[in-house]
Amino acid sequence: MSDLNASARELLAERARRLARPLMAVEHGGDAGDPVLVVRLEDERVGIALAYTTEVYRASELTPIPGARPPVAGAIAWRGRVLTVLDIAHSRRAPVAMTDATRFLVIGRRTASFGIVADEVEDVVEVNTQKLVPVEDISPARGEFVRGVTADALVVLDVPALIARFAPTQQSSGGPRE
């Protein structure tokens, strides 16, 4: 019985050590790559670097911002503050329809910068960014935010470019700059 307890304790201690390592310190072997959150934006599967995803949040409503231009979709209340939300679905022509599957991805480097509306969250997968294929038939406005596409048609976003473009500046009141 004590051998079983010692074995279980050792197993739990090893799991705790692995979970305690920072995400970016985890070594990926072979063809594995960077962890990305796979979400659905309208009819497109998109990968967003997990390192820049602060939280996947469920809000009951998205408040429109009068006069805001796309890709700003509105704002949500998040942890006691107002967070601007972007809709970067390339094919969406109507306002975002809130469903039970709708989630807001809170994006930022060290703190939350803005949210991205996702129609559905699918999974977390490893993507080898060295094997991404450039997307050729894409608008220049959107192209600056796309790193490439995988063999299984997952569009991988350039999250640092999104943050650089849409994160509020130190002087601003909290909305994305345009």
Give the pLDDT band of residue 97 (cuts 50, 70, 90): confident
The structural domain count of the chain equals: 1
Residue 89 structural domain? 30-166
95 in any annotated domain: yes
2 in any annotated domain: no
Secondary structure letter of residue 62 according to DSSP: -
122 in any annotated domain: yes
**Tell me, what CATH number does 71's domain have?**
2.40.50.180
Mean pLDDT over 149-157 rounds to: 93
| Rounded Cα–Cα distance for residues 31 and 164 (Å) | 29
67 in any annotated domain: yes
pLDDT at 76 over 90: yes
User: Would you state the pLDDT for residue 66?
Assistant: 94
User: Would you state the pLDDT for residue 12?
Assistant: 82
User: Would you state the pLDDT for residue 175?
Assistant: 54
User: Would you state the pLDDT for residue 70?
Assistant: 87
Mean confidence (pLDDT) of the chain: 84
pTM: 0.74
Mean pLDDT over 113-120 rounds to: 96
Determine how β-strand 114-118 pairs with β-strand 81-86: parallel
124 in any annotated domain: yes
Indicate the residue type of 53. Answer: T
User: Would you state the pLDDT for residue 26?
Assistant: 41
pLDDT at 90 over 90: no
In this structure, the number of other CB atoms found within 10 A of the CB of residue 112 comes to 17
86 in any annotated domain: yes
pLDDT digits (tens, 9 = 90+) for 30-75: 456 899 999 999 889 999 999 999 999 999 899 999 999 889 999 9
156 in any annotated domain: yes
Q: Which residue has the higher pLDDT, 159 or 29?
A: 159
14 in any annotated domain: no
Percent of the chain with pLDDT over 90: 53
